[in-house]
A and B are shown apart, each in its own frame.
Chain A
Amino acid sequence: MTLDATTIGMPARSRPRPGPWRKFVRFAATQPLGAAGLVTVLVMAIAGALAPYIAPYDPVAISFGDMLAPPSWEHPLGTDNFGRDILSRILYGARTAIIMGLVSALIGSTLGAIIGVASAYFGGVIDLMIQRVVDIFLSLPIIVLALVVVAMLGRNLVLGFDFNLILAISIPIVPNVARVVRSSALSIREMAYIDSARVAGYSTRRIIFRHMAPNLMAPYLIMLTAFIAQAILLEASLSFLGLGVTEPSPAWGLMLAGNAVDFYRQAPWMIIFPGVAISLAVFSFNLLGDSLRDWLDPKSRLR
């Protein structure tokens, strides 16, 4: 058996770097489920972004004449008890879900990664204290923690989105990411190039952000995609409980709550389609996250 640069995981300098399309094709070939997840997520994001142009109806306009109408050509996914078009509400709801999910997961994962790296780098008492705080937060179920935060913070609308709700979803993500990133960072801290950087007199900030952080991108990205799904689910759960997005704003979790509970026997489409949208989004992000983990893991590439 002969080993070349590619099989031992080192980039072959002579070859040109592949473009995004080639990268995607390679990713799709090795991770077809992940590619399907990525395509679904992209379709949802584009649909959400273009909702004002492609939604057939105003998502908040009440039309009692169309009340509880079953799926038809006019209303492909039916209408709710106020005669509002469910397809339009789902399209607009994708905006809420993806923006809330993405921003919350980004804030939570980034904060978690910084805390995790810092904890691993400093070690000793600092690491001990940070990890005990992380333990406390991890002992609480994510939904309970989010409920506490949302109850404490109240509402704070910024550009039509409740920033405090985003924080409430972000905070439970922080300890989870901190714990995973710390474990990866602990092994990087022992690498010779980190010792060299210390000996060269680089500042702590430079060592953490310039030398450790780039090597933690893989676990960070995996956690980020996994937590986008969690954040979407959390936003839907909080809205379902009446603590998230409020009516008449279209949001998937909200579409399952309130009057849907009273009318789902008469009009099952009121809960089926928003439920499918939530499941599909969560499933797609999870597939993408799992596939990214496998794809970015050099060990699994060696197998």
Chain B
Amino acid sequence: MKKSIWVAVGVLALSFLGGQGAIAQDAKPVRGGVLNYGVAGGPHTLDCHGGSSFAVLHHLGPHYSTLLKTNNKNYPNVIGDLAESWTVSNDHLTYTFKLHDNVKFHDGTTLTSEDVRASFERIMNPPAGVISSWRSMYGDVKSVEAPDKDTVVFRLSAPNSGMLSIFGSPWACIYSAARLKEDPRYPEKTVMGTGPFQLVEYVSGSHWTGKRFDGYFRSGLPYLDGFKAIALSSTALINALAGGQIDAEFRGIAPADQQRIQASRGASIRFEEAEGMGLFMVSFNTKVKPYDDIRVRRALTLAVDRWGGIQPMSRISTLKYVSSFQRPGAPDALPQAQLEKLPGFGRDIKAARAEAKRLLAEAGVPNLKFTLINRGPDMPYAPFALYLIDQWRQIGVTVDQQVVDTANWAQRRTSGNFSVVVDVTGDWGEDPSFVMARFLSSDSSFNNPTGFSDPKIEELFKAQKLEFDPVKRKQSVNALENYIVGQVFTMPVFRTVRLLPIATKVKNYPVVPVHNWLGDVSEIWLSP
């Protein structure tokens, strides 16, 4: 008996000491080590400005700096990256940034304001042959100036309350002006920035490795000696996580895989999650009958039991939240009470379906039949479509699903070759000025495939963009969202969860909703 008491005391003491040790280790970053992570896909370009897929930033991110960046410890606010400080004029038309001193490119040259100017100029006015995926986002910027080597001035043609967030875009990598002058397309061939890691090797379809850049301008960073991004298929990625061949995956996995990885890795892995940015929706081609009739579109959104479906859907897919266009936890999201008043978001599904049937009968299509175009990858497109088909069946609508590959889906979506299509967004940030921009009338937004146009949307969008008072802005954004959801040209349904498997030895990686942005790899460290 006495012996067992002493053993218990000993175990307690050891666990206490061990715990203290762990806390001490967590608190004090350790230098060294290589982070191995998996990426389900290769970069389609080496140029941030022309990129749009998560796979681009999950490879390129650690090599570049941006003017501002998202503060992952105080999301979604922005902090300076290359910018040490900034001021905004009273009329919100001039943004002046002071840059950090002695920032070096990987080739040893010093960064100046001219590099920042030339990089933004390249995004806003791409030279012939250069692809800029983000040009429209900077539509309010009239000019960029570099009055001295440490100062950059942006002059706007109209105020934009989301401008600081836009300056923090992870896609706005800063390139060398001198090299751009020689060849405006050099970033497509050479990875050379001012980021915390230098590129060592890229073997397409296999791996991408980076090593610490000793000249990095933020003192003491990065902690890691290097990183290795390994290209894997989705299935191989889960196997690699379960087998311990990789330390993390930063896009997000399905909950069904969590159990398996946890069972294999035990305490050596942890799972962190956040509301994701992937919003799953359905878009209607309003140029095609009967979807030009708001009663039909309204009936189809009313039939979907969002609240009843989300809990079981979260068990079998990456869909975990009922959501309108803005993330439920976003600063300007619709309050729950307001959300539940929107068509399709009410709790009384019986009444909603009765109304849906009435609307279909009134519109003359009580036995509506259509083909739903869905995108190839299985998760969560397949379960999402299946759920919708079942919901619509309950109001007498017959749906045939046509699953096409991503390229075909994108082509059909943008060309309007569909009646009803599964649609998705995956924004890189929260500001309503770019979250809501894709839902502007089709003649203003190339990303709205529905053919729907209504000048009131532009009017409401402009009102929120010009509003700088946070409370009033939220009201404006809510009014805009209310109106767009009410028109049902695109019906939002469910939002994804960003569930990240991360080895417990990987420290200091706060999880944020945005999956496109890899995060600040310079601050990650590995416990020995």
CB within 8 Å of B: which residues of A?
60-62, 64, 67, 81-82, 155, 157, 242, 246-248, 258-259, 261-263, 265-266
Contacts and interface: CB of A to CB of B under 8 A. Distances in A.
B316 A82 contact: yes
Contact of B403 (A82, A246, A266): A246
A247 B260 contact: no
Interface stretch (B26-34, B251-259, B485-493): B251-259
Given A60-B390, A60-B393, A242-B376, A266 B256 contact: yes
A248 B316 contact: no
Interface of B: 235, 254, 256-257, 259-260, 309, 312, 315-316, 376, 378-379, 382-383, 385-387, 389-390, 393, 400-403
13 contacts: A60-B389, A61-B390, A62-B386, A67-B316, A82-B316, A82-B387, A246-B400, A247-B382, A248-B390, A258-B382, A259-B378, A259-B383, A266-B259
A182 to B, nearest CB: 38
B400 A265 contact: no
A82 B260 CA distance: 20
Contacts of B390: 60-62, 82, 248
Contacts of B378: 258-259, 261
A64 B387 CA distance: 10
B393 A259 contact: no
A191 B390 CA distance: 62
Contacts of A242: 376, 403
A64 B402 contact: no
Contacts of B401: 246-248
A62 B256 contact: no
A263 B317 CA distance: 11
A67 B403 contact: no
A60 B394 CA distance: 12
B403 A64 contact: no
Contacts of A258: 378, 382
B25 to A, nearest CB: 34
A258 B376 CA distance: 11
B497 to A, nearest CB: 15
Given A242-B403, A246-B403, A259 B387 contact: no
Given A61-B393, A247-B389, 7 more contacts: A64-B312, A82-B386, A246-B403, A247-B401, A248-B390, A259-B378, A261-B235
B260 A265 contact: yes
Nearest to B254: A262
Contact of B312 (A67, A248, A263, A266): A67
A6 B403 CA distance: 58
Most chain A CB inside 10 Å of its own CB: which residue of B383, B385, B401: B383
A259 to B, nearest CB: 6
Nearest to B387: A62
Contact of B382 (A61, A62, A259): A259
Contact of B256 (A60, A246, A247, A263): A263
Nearest to B378: A258
Contacts of A155: 402
Given A62-B387, A62-B390, A247-B386, A262 B379 contact: yes
Given A60-B393, A157-B400, A246-B402, A81 B316 contact: yes
B260 A263 contact: no
Nearest to A246: B401
Contacts of A259: 316, 378, 382-383
Contacts of B389: 60, 247-248
Nearest to B400: A157
Nearest to A257: B378
A82 B386 CA distance: 9
A62 B390 CA distance: 7
A262 B256 contact: yes
A197 B179 CA distance: 85
Contacts of A81: 316, 383
Most chain A CB inside 10 Å of its own CB: which residue of B378, B386, B402: B386
A102 to B, nearest CB: 23
A263 B379 CA distance: 12
A157 B382 CA distance: 20
A291 B382 CA distance: 42
A72 to B, nearest CB: 19
Contact of A247 (B257, B376, B385): B385
Contacts of A247: 382, 385-386, 389, 401
A45 B400 CA distance: 25
A262 B387 contact: no
Contacts of B316: 67, 81-82, 259, 262-263
A247 B393 CA distance: 14
A295 B387 CA distance: 50
A66 B412 CA distance: 36
A82 B312 CA distance: 9
A116 B437 CA distance: 62
A81 B390 CA distance: 14
Contacts of A64: 309, 312
A243 to B, nearest CB: 9
Contacts of A62: 386-387, 390
B394 to A, nearest CB: 9
Nearest to A82: B386
B255 to A, nearest CB: 9
A244 to B, nearest CB: 10
A147 B257 CA distance: 30
Most chain A CB inside 10 Å of its own CB: which residue of B235, B254, B259, B316: B316
A258 B316 CA distance: 11
A67 B315 contact: yes
Nearest to A157: B400
A248 B389 CA distance: 8
B521 to A, nearest CB: 29
A242 B312 CA distance: 24
B388 to A, nearest CB: 10
A61 B376 CA distance: 23
A259 B403 CA distance: 15
Contacts of B379: 262
A61 B389 CA distance: 10
Nearest to A247: B386
A60 B392 CA distance: 12
10 cross-chain pairs, A with B, having the tightest CB-CB distances, nearest first? A64-B312, A62-B390, A262-B256, A81-B316, A246-B401, A258-B382, A247-B386, A258-B378, A246-B403, A248-B389
Given A67-B315, A67-B316, A266-B259, A248 B309 contact: no
A87 B246 CA distance: 40
A43 to B, nearest CB: 30
B386 A262 contact: no
Contacts of B382: 247, 258-259
A258 B379 CA distance: 8
A81 B382 CA distance: 12
A157 B402 CA distance: 11
A259 B390 CA distance: 16
A156 to B, nearest CB: 11
A60 B393 CA distance: 10
B219 to A, nearest CB: 45
Contacts of B315: 67
Nearest to B385: A247
Contacts of A82: 316, 383, 386-387, 390
